[in-house]
Amino acid sequence: MTAASFSSDNGKPASSDPESRSARPNPTLKILTVEESAAAAEAAKRAQETEAAKSAANAIPEMGGARVAEPPLEPTPEFLAELQRESDALENETPQAILKWAVDRFAPKFTMATAFGPEGMTIIHMLAEIAPETPVFNLETGYQFQETLQLRETVLERYGITVEYKYPEQTVEEFEAANHGPVYLTDPNRCCFERKLRVLHQAARGWHAWASAIRRDQSEDRARAPIVGWDKKFQLVKISPLANWTKNDVWSLIMKEKIPYNPLHDQGYPSIGCQPCTRSVLPGEDERSGRWSGFQKTECGLHSS
């Protein structure tokens, strides 16, 4: 007794005409014995189980952020109501006052993530005056512009603040070798997930709160950001001191205080992410239109719910 498997070297389907098959036997026809067929099925099942185990091992843990801090911070209804009250009360405060509140309320469990954008540089400048000891980190995907990396050195020189790099587990070379090439070309969501989100989940463990540099007028997603709120994705209190600021507010302060900024902003790059996924924009184009140009993607996923 045999089980038959038909294959074709050129990938085209074999003829369905039985006469034709018997008259001109396909030289690539592979006849499997029942034992071979059963072994192939078993191997496929094992491969599937290995893949499932791998995904489970790589999954983002349900518990993270402030919930695994010491002491842990749980988003109880009472705590969420408190955050809402504080957010409302801070709605008309200056970014400096909001940061001061955050430091008083959450330090030393208060941190900041930055991509060295103009908003992030503005917050670093403010933190240098209010609480320079605040730990600041950057998600170093391995794909950032050299000009961006240089800003880390400038921050150290100007403010004495060392921005810590947080790296993905795999180097760019390992990541691309394991994925048959650059993942940003085919699946930027997965690339951002592996190079940014997973790293931030890890970096968020043990903190109570983090500052983000988002502005409400940057995108529809960001328009709903509270000043203070619970970040479900990273399970931290998220504080957005610049939520009510405009681009002009940010750049006015940068000019007034001579805050260092990425020189690429003077070369047509209003929003800067990783080099392969950022292009310059034309006058009149949306400021984030140079990010993931050509893809239906506007956010890396760090600030979207």
Residues 6+ apart with CB under 8 A from 7: 28, 29, 30
Q: Is 300 a catalytic residue?
A: yes
The residue range among 2-10, 159-167, 210-218, 272-280 that interacts with ligand SF4, by the rule CB under 6 A, is 272-280
> Interface residues for ligand SF4 in 141-180 (CB under 6 A)?
141, 143
From the list 119, 277, 290, 303, which residue makes contact with ligand SF4 (rule: CB under 6 A)? Answer: 277
From the list 99, 115, 163, 191, which residue makes contact with ligand SF4 (rule: CB under 6 A)? Answer: 191
DSSP-H helix ranges across 29-167 = 34-58, 77-90, 95-106, 118-130, 146-159
Tell whether residue 276 is a contact of ligand SF4 (CB under 6 A). yes
From the list 109, 152, 195, 233, which residue makes contact with ligand SF4 (rule: CB under 6 A)? Answer: 195
Q: At what angle do helices 95-106 and 77-90 cross, to 10 degrees?
A: 150
Q: How far is CA 90 from CA 77, 177, 201, 212, 305, in A?
A: 20, 48, 27, 15, 22
Q: 192 labelled as ligand-binding? A: yes
Q: At what angle do helices 146-159 and 118-130 cross, to 10 degrees?
A: 20
Tell whether residue 115 is a contact of ligand SF4 (CB under 6 A). no
Q: 191 labelled as ligand-binding? A: yes
User: How far apart are the C-alpha atoms of 16 and 21, rounded to whole Å?
Assistant: 8
Nearest residue (CB) to ligand SF4, 143 versus 210 = 143
H or E element, residue 298: none
The residue range among 3-11, 117-125, 150-158, 271-279 that interacts with ligand SF4, by the rule CB under 6 A, is 271-279
DSSP-H helix ranges across 160-194 = 172-178, 183-186, 188-192
Nearest residue (CB) to ligand SF4, 196 versus 303 = 196
Binding site for ligand SF4 (CB under 6 A): 141, 143, 184, 188, 191-192, 195-196, 273-274, 276-277, 300
